Structure 1
């Protein structure tokens, strides 16, 4: 498990005590939270990302979309069969995602603009790299055959289980 949802979010607060933490990165470097509310709860609240004592940053999707993204991210990271790229170009991302369906949500994870692509038995997330026109891709599959279409692409794989 890469990241996890807190079992009892009513008990854990952020470093400043003004937000309820509900999601935590596996090494404890960052977390996601919701603002405390004394009034009626917001129907689909803003999710806040915070790294250590840095100011919180709003996720682009409200809680409903964020939870879909969180689930897709965990599915790709925790799959039995994976394909992980080194840095790739925008043209390679286009080639890599050509046969996949883009999940129609705004980018996940502030600072990385992570997008999700899916196909039967496969979830892939693509994130901005540290330089312009550089990206990383991580695909997770339920069976190694779902990774087979990626084998013949001109991509330097860090790991490829297909």
Structure 2
């Protein structure tokens, strides 16, 4: 796994999610198997002390719950909350790739490669789920590009290619805030911002946006 990305992922997860304990986890939470890709092993080690990082809307399976697809060709490691799609990496007997392609697949459709390999995907997944599970959120849909620019002004864009083939999604961040913008097609966008404190959302109130929910 790219060292800079691994460091960024660790800094985000440990900064966003309070550690549940400094003691070893119960026996039900197993250490990550050594035959997993490096990025997943690192992620699972973080999740042992930060379990919410496994997901709020969608989820990554705990290391002990990993599974293969029916053909035994792919290691399935995550899914949508209602099982509508899943994420996987290629499973080989020669050992895992260092930073493999992540495949998005609806059950009856051909797989689609995520634009970022595993190292970038895990950052994107973590940002997305942090926003979705935040205590304070702001969300709106059917926005124009100009409205998106208003909402993201002053935020730092995360330098990764879009996440999630269903609705290509980009991320922006500020201290205590994660905001993601999804392209819904037809020049329309949706926004979801998640914050660690209500006051962090306050600057978004200045945007000319009709919010579906606004906790600021």
Same fold (TM over 0.5): yes
Q: Which residue of 2 aligns with 1:8?
A: 63
Q: Which residue of 1 aligns with 2:160?
A: 105
Q: Which residue of 1 aligns with 2:6?
A: none
Looking at structure 1, the residues matched to 212 and 194 of structure 2 have their Cα atoms a distance apart, in angstroms, of: 14
TM-score, with length taken from structure 1: 0.94
Comparing 16-25 with 6-15, greater Cα deviation is found at 6-15
Q: Which residue of 1 aligns with 2:142?
A: 87
Greater strand content:
1
Greater helix content:
2
**Partner of residue 129 from structure 1, selected from 170, 184, 188:** 184
RMSD value over aligned CA atoms?
1.4
User: Cα–Cα, structure 1 residues 68 and 11, in superposed 2: closer, same or farther, change >3 Å?
Assistant: closer
Looking at structure 2, the residues matched to 115 and 84 of structure 1 have their Cα atoms a distance apart, in angstroms, of: 15
**SS of the residue aligned with 1:157?**
coil
Question: In the alignment, does 2:84 pair up with 1:32?
Answer: no
Deviations 1:114-147 (A, max 9, x none): 000001110000000132x210000000001000
**SS of the residue aligned with 1:92?**
helix
**SS of the residue aligned with 2:137?**
strand
- Gaps (5+ residues) in structure 2? 1-55
Comparing 20-29 with 6-15, greater Cα deviation is found at 6-15
Looking at structure 2, the residues matched to 89 and 9 of structure 1 have their Cα atoms a distance apart, in angstroms, of: 43
Ranked by relative contact order (alpha carbons within 8 Å, sequence separation 6 or more), the top structure is 1
**How far did 1:17 drift?**
3.5
Q: Which residue of 1 aligns with 2:126?
A: 71
